[in-house]
Amino acid sequence: MDRIRSSLIVLAALPFFSSCVAALLPLAALGTIGKGQIDREQAKRDMVAAGALDLAMPTGKVTVGSGDGERDALPRTAKKFSGQGGASEIVEVAIDGNAADYLAKFFQPVGQDSSPYANFATYALKQAAKLAEGQGISSVVLVPRVDIYKPETIACEGKPLAVVIDLDDTTGGGWIKAETLYRQNGLVEVLHSLRASDISVIWVSEQSIGASQTISAILNEAGFSQSDAEDFLFLDRGGDDRKQVRRWDAARNYCIVAMAGDDRTDFDELYAYLRDPDGAITLESMFNNGWFLVPPPLVEANQITPNKPDDKEG
């Protein structure tokens, strides 16, 4: 009962979340997760063994994979962040032409209490509340070689909850080197609310695992990670690795209750191969119902240098 009350309190504490939440996934699932014994430590070890970076850094060290061992403490990136949320320095920025056009495709927040990630978080939190009440919930990651006419999702039984957030955007990877980054409004608060309900955050990107320390430092400085969280960064492991394979690996260890990305291929790679997007009409019910099209968490921005007052008179 205390766990149920805790989950509902978290929901009630998010006034900027939409009250309109879609119905349950109308998909045939290979398995659902119910209240019971969940070995979080084993799931965490399995994720790291699969090549994911554990973002928890209580000792100033980070661990990658099963054989790479510990690495040095994260470097500072000296980046600045615009957008609302978190304690980082806020600077005035102008989004450049390409980024502005790109972001215009999405809902743009108009106040500090709004976030393009609100519905995504609300959906995930409702799944956590259902689990606390003893109800079954389903993953939102499709099984490999899915039958598009009868889609199924990867089994969730006995797995801790997690969400997947895609870091990439269609404008490229320049955000890693950018001096100033636009941080999506309300996302810091969204992440805190997810973790309060024992929902891990798994960041996914096409960037190479060689960039793990840089990206980890960016997430930390942006306020997107915290030392006591069970969060992960899943980057390209080399060879024939694909983002889709990493999503499957994440879903084998965690029950992925929601995914956020800016492109349909961020939910399943089958969208990259469809000649006719309507060919996946059976999957349309997933959108806003486990799959959420949102702007990327971080977008490159151009810093505005404010005009300094002229100290001279006359």
- Structural domain boundaries enclosing 53: 2-303
CATH code for position 165: 3.40.50
Claim: this prediction has a pTM higher than 0.85: no
Which tokens sit at 208?
């190479």
Residue 310 lies in a domain: no
Token match 């990630």: residue? 117
Residue 217 included in any domain: yes
- DSSP codes joined into one string, 28-93: --S-EE-SS---HHHHHHHHHHTTPEE---TTS-EEETTTS-EEPPPPP---EEESSSSSSPB--E
Could you tell me if residue 312 is inside a domain? no
Residue 308 belongs to some domain of the structure: no
Query: Does a structural domain hold residue 309?
Result: no
Half-sphere exposure of 84 (CA within 13 A, CB side): 14
Helix then strand then coil, in percent of the chain rounded to 5, is 30, 20, 50
Using a 10 angstrom Cβ sphere, with 0-12 exposed, 13-18 middle and 19 or more buried, the burial of residue 152 is: middle
Return d(Cα 263, Cα 136) in angstroms, integer: 29
Q: Does some domain include residue 61?
A: yes
Average pLDDT, the chain: 75
Q: Nearest CA to 77 among 228, 236, 211, 232?
A: 211
How much of the chain, in percent, has pLDDT values that exceed 70?
65
pLDDT at 181: 87
Closest alpha carbon to 43 in 256, 241, 245: 256
Q: What is the pLDDT of residues 96-144, one digit of tens each?
A: 555 555 445 443 443 444 688 989 999 999 999 988 888 889 999 999 9
pLDDT of residue 171: 66
Number of independent structural domains in the chain: 1
Residue (of 32, 250, 21, 42) closest to 157 by Cα position? 32
Query: Is 63 domain-assigned?
Result: yes
Instruction: Give me the pLDDT at residue 109, please.
Output: 40
User: Considering the domain boundaries, does residue 131 fall inside one?
Assistant: yes
What does the pLDDT read at residue 184?
Answer: 87
Say what the pLDDT of residue 98 is: 58
